[in-house]
Homo-oligomer: A and B are copies of this chain.
Amino acid sequence: MVDILDYKILEILQENNLIPQRDIGDAIGLSAPAVQRRIKKMRESGIIEKDVSIINRDMLGNTITIIVEVFLDSEKLEHILTIKNEFSVVAEIQQCYYVTGESDFFLVMVVSSMKEYEELSKKLFIDNSNIKRFRTIVSMGIDKTSLKIPLSNKLG
């Protein structure tokens, strides 16, 4: 399905997707059209999900990152789906992880002020009868944020 050359292409693209295909070809020993075809296939198959610009949130005032550990009142499936749907439409919720163990969800949220978070948490958590309690963890800084997939072990 995907061979080593594809992995090498992905490794490059998840760092920079505006690089000319000719340069990719030079880097991995392939012609530009060959690279083009491989990329096209991977887009069609969904291996490459999308192509986006990464924006510096600090420069736009969205400087506060908050991790929220959410404890549900019961783990009935309907509640989980309901809550997922509620979370899915909230732009400030960047990431939503469904976990098992003590808690049920981990969220990563981005807000521009604590006031904004207080209002959001009231609406999302306090006023939500399905949620038993929640734990707010304010991040003091982020050292690493990338959705890059580790591929180095696949490059042969």
Contacts and interface: CB of A to CB of B under 8 A. Distances in A.
Contacts of A54: 14, 48-52, 147
Interface string A98-118: 111101001010100000000
Contacts of A4: none
A13 to B, nearest CB: 4
Copies of chain A in the complex = 2
A13 B18 CA distance: 13
A139 B53 contact: no
Interface residues of A, number: 61
A16 interface: yes
Contacts of A145: 94-96, 147
A2 B138 CA distance: 27
A137 B99 contact: yes
Contact of A62 (B65, B99, B146, B149): B149
B47 A137 contact: no
A156 interface: no
Interface of A: 2, 10, 13-18, 45-57, 59-60, 62, 65, 67, 84, 87-88, 91-101, 103, 106, 108, 110, 137-152, 154
